[in-house]
């Protein structure tokens, strides 16, 4: 079973590509709460593929950090014991330049969370690569793609879906689509 986490533009495109996937997100799960992450794992105990597309920029730094970093890390840790599972966390092009002049703190908290998620992906593979009892964990850093968060500018979302397909087929651990 494929589990697509999030209900944004990319999550819906992935669900169109794999219509048998389970698409989960708000309002069923509030990923700023650990209890919601635990409920997700209880509701979906043995997926074969998990694609985490969570991403938000709000006026709440706590929510930005929790939803963009802590929830994906926590969910990954909860599913890592599944040997045949492939977990894909969608990071951001923002991980390449988390700060710049005149950046507001809300955008900075998003960028920093995505940078940390990318680093988590690099480091978690030190744990998973040599352990056949662990899931495969991959991170994709998409370039700017057409979504409400980017005012529908950038790559067509189908390009990012193709990146997900490539990561699944080749079991790539880290893929950056940043130009």
| Per-domain boundaries in the chain | 2-176
Residue 60 and residue 30 in contact, taking contact as beta carbons nearer than 8 Å: no
The residues, ordered by sequence, that sit 6+ positions from 60 with a Cβ below 8 Å of its Cβ are none
Decide: helix, strand or coil at residue 109: helix
Chunked in runs of 10, what are the mean pLDDT values of the chain (179 residues)?
Answer: 94 96 96 97 98 93 96 97 93 69 83 93 85 88 68 75 95 84
Decide: helix, strand or coil at residue 29: coil
pTM metric for this prediction = 0.92
Q: Tell me the pLDDT tens digit for each residue of 66-100.
A: 999 999 999 999 999 998 899 999 998 765 566 66
Half-sphere exposure of 143 (CA within 13 A, CB side): 10
**Mapped to the 3 state alphabet, what secondary structure does 26-67 carry?**
CCCCCCCCHHHHHHHHHHCCCCCEEEECCCCCCCCHHHHHHH
CATH class of 2-176: alpha beta
Half-sphere exposure of 18 (CA within 13 A, CB side): 18
Q: What is the pLDDT of residue 94?
A: 66
Cα angle value 66/70/72 (rounded, 5°): 115
């Amino acid at each position: 079973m494929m589990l697509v986490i999030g209900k944004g533009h990319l999550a819906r495109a992935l669900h169109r590509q794999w219509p048998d996937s389970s698409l989960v997100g708000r309002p069923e799960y509030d990923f700023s709460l650990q209890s919601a992450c635990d409920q997700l794992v209880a509701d979906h105990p043995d997926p074969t593929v998990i694609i985490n597309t969570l991403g938000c920029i709000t006026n709440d730094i706590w929510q930005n950090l929790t939803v963009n970093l802590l929830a994906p890390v926590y969910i990954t840790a909860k599913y890592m014991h599944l040997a045949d599972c492939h977990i894909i966390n969608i990071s951001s092009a923002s991980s390449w330049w988390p700060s710049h002049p005149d950046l507001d703190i809300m955008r900075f908290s998003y960028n920093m969370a995505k940078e940390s998620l990318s680093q988590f992906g690099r480091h978690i593979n030190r744990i998973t690569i040599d352990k056949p009892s662990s899931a495969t964990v991959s991170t994709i850093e998409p370039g700017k793609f057409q979504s409400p968060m980017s005012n529908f500018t950038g790559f067509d979302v189908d390009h990012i879906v193709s990146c997900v397909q490539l990561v699944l087929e080749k079991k790539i651990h880290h893929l950056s689509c940043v130009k």
